[in-house]
Amino acid sequence: MSFKLNKSKVNDYIKISLIVILLAVEIVVCAQAYTLIGDEPLEFISLIVCCATLAVLEGVNQLAIKNFAAKMVFYGLDSALLLTICVLTGNSFLAALYCIVLTGCYMSVDRFRDRSVLFGTSCFLFVVSFIVGWVIQNAGADIYNSVVEILSGVLFGLLAILLDYIIVQFLIKFYNTNRELREAVKLADEKKAEAEAAHEQLTITKVFEERNRIARDIHDNAGHSLTTVIMQTEAAKLIIEDNPAEAKNRIISANIQAKNALEQLRESVHLLAGRQQIRPLREELGEIIAQTIDGTQIRARYDISEVKTSVEQYRYICNTVKELLANGIRHGNATAFYIELKQAGENINLLVSDNGSGVAGEVKEGYGLKGIRERAEALGGGCRYASEAEEGFETEIYLPVYKEEE
């Protein structure tokens, strides 16, 4: 069975223990005084009353009073009773009584400065009480012996009070430090649990976001390509008898789109299965270009350097090259392409140009071109389109160099 203590309970247990010790010392003082002043019943009764009152006041002060000013009032009453006991008993156990009372007071004070002031005041009161009690009990004694005994008694008592002060200060400091460490560890554990929960939630969120993104890619890219395939084959079917050459071009374009759609679907399935692309980007782009021009009269030159990219940049570059090749063939009737991928300073630069029909005037972004630009910007880069009528189409894209997190 676990037994946990907080600061309040520890203080209460210690205060109760001090009260019990105080009662025990008072019993010893009274027993000793009985042998000395037994023939003076009034003095003995006064001593008992003072001891009982001191115990009651100390109990109320330690267990019931919370206000610091009120505690100091009670401490003043305790000091007066200690002086009376000292006068009646001749300094018997005065230092012990002071240490017991002071220990309880120290524990009721939070600030070190206040405890130090209490210690200094108590030392002064102890000296006064000791001297007054000794003088009253030893009136007429030899002055030299009196001075020696007073000095030795005062020094012994002050030493006891000092040791009590040092020990209590150390214990309070030790307990407070230990408690702060426990609270810090508890807080750290709570923060760790919160961080783990947040990380788990973030991981789940990222999984859903990634799945949604892949679903959008399938819908936007593969869906768009398959729609184009259907349109191209339907158009080819309608004109195959009247214009076989044009029908052939449309079938070639549809074939390219179908290959691209198949590749995009394969990539999406790999991502959903948790398998990342491991083929070098240079090889992947070479394969994309080969699949696009395979079985056609289209020519392509490329200068592709191996650059380090993130997974998102890798997918973006591959999808963009597919999109630009398909656009050049489908919309610009291009028969030749030039693709370049290099690192320049802090950027990765991608250039794709063709010899298609081009665009007269300002380039207007359709669905495909707008998506390419927006995805580049989302990755921290940008793109530029340039074209003139019958001069082909050129796309320049730059992305920041990928730096792995340490």
Q: How far apart are the first and last CA of the chain?
A: 46
Query: Phi and psi (nearest 5°) for 356?
Result: -75, -170
**Residue 250 in this model has a pLDDT that exceeds 70:** yes
The CA distance from 293 to 252, in Å, is: 9
Q: Are 43 and 88 in contact (CB under 8 A)?
A: yes
Lowest mean pLDDT among 22-31, 216-225, 230-239, 351-360: 216-225
Query: What pLDDT is attached to residue 97?
Result: 79
Mean pLDDT of 63-90: 77
CA distances from 274 to 270, 271, 280 (A): 6, 5, 18
How far apart CA 112 and CA 311 sit, in angstroms, is: 60
Checking if the pLDDT of 235 tops 90, the result is no
- CA neighbor of 135 nearest in space, from 91, 79, 82: 91
Place of tokens 């590749």: 263
Residue with tokens 């999984």: 207
Contact assessment for residue 342 and residue 307, using Cβ atoms and an 8 Å cutoff: yes
Q: Residue 3: pLDDT above 60? A: no
> Helix, strand, or coil here: 79?
helix
- DSSP symbols for 20-52: HHHHHHHHHHHHHHHHHHTT-HHHHHHHHHHHH
pTM attached to this predicted model: 0.43
How high does pLDDT run on average in the chain? 80
pLDDT grade, residue 368 (50/70/90)?
Answer: confident
Q: Which residue has the higher pLDDT, 304 or 241?
A: 304
Identity of the residue numbered 136? I
For the cut 50, the answer to whether the pLDDT of residue 2 exceeds it is: no
**Would you say residue 117 has pLDDT above 70?**
yes
User: Taking residues 208-228, what's their average pLDDT?
Assistant: 67
Q: Give the pLDDT confidence score for residue 350 in this predicted structure.
A: 95
pLDDT tens digits along 130-175: 788 777 777 666 777 778 877 888 888 888 888 888 888 888 788 7
Structure confidence at residue 1 (pLDDT) = 41
In whole angstroms, what is the distance from residue 390 CA to residue 359 CA?
7
Query: What is the per-residue pLDDT across 178-202, written as a single tens digit (0 to 9) for each?
Result: 878 888 888 888 888 888 888 888 7
